[in-house]
Amino acid sequence: MSHAIAIVGLGKIARDQHLPTLAASDRLHLAGIVSGHARDEGAPVAATITELKRQVPELAAVSLCTPPMARTALIKEALALGLDVMVEKPPAASVSVAERYAGMAREAGRALYLTWHSREASGVEPAAQWLSGKTLRRVSVAWKEDVRVWHPGQEWIWEPGIGVFDPGVNALSILTRLVPGTELHGATLKYPADREAPIMADLTMAHGDTAIEAAFSFDQRGPQTWSMTLETDEGTAELREGGGRLFVDDAEVAVPEGTEYGRLYARFADMIGTGAIDADLSPFRLVADAFMLGRHERVGAFRWDD
């Protein structure tokens, strides 16, 4: 059985990841798009979810790919129409808002999936299995990319509370999968002189006696860096390329085939029609803690065309 699903919001992430993944799926198919600026995508286009549901009565679910600041109304609309809901990360503009979503879905009796796509990278579950039974001593994270490449001209990324934590929360989603219960102890957040969100962040965390450090940047030129090193009493594992590759003591380990978004949508296909809720907010809470505990520094002004 193939479920009819709609994409809500047709920006870069939807075009780069969501549309190709749905095109390759045998369990879900693109039944429509909700967007004010969609081109011909081979599916009905509507301005609202309600309008699309009228056009496509068999619509079963929506995947929200809009910026996170205005999703509550969209989730409420979708649930009222009897639709299951999948949400691109970060789930909302604040933790308190995101915490409402599970209750809304539960009351409506519909499935809700707040996704963390980096958790589905091919090396993450093998890394979790490798860590089992070992004593973790130290974790270091380097998550550095160029906002100009991944969010070209998207000013919403500089709204308060977003910035470098848009990619940084990907690293935190892997970290909280591998080291649940991680606590943030301190942070330094660096803000461009002309922006309201940080472009760099250094985090100090811990889990018991395990020291955890993370360095995030949204201003990385040249090769991009998404790595996590986990030192244990029985060797060292390193996740590279956003968790897609796993190395143990510098030797690469075979990992499952498939893509992050392929696994996300497979999981959502399992949830449709069941009323299941997957709404873990532990990575998002670490982001909120960073803003609460972080020291603020100002750096040079940001320019898209630098």
Catalytic residues: 89
* Eight-class DSSP state of 68: G
Beta bridge partners of 34: 8, 46
What are the tokens at 277? Answer: 């809720």
Residue 20 identity (one-letter amino acid): P
What is the strand order of the sheet 245-248 is part of? Answer: 251-253, 245-248, 235-240, 225-232, 136-144, 210-217, 200-207, 183-192, 294-299
175 phi, psi to nearest 5 deg: -60, -45
Specify the 3-state DSSP secondary structure of 113.
strand
Rounded distance, CA 45 to CA 253, Å? 44
Type and span of the H or E element at 306: none
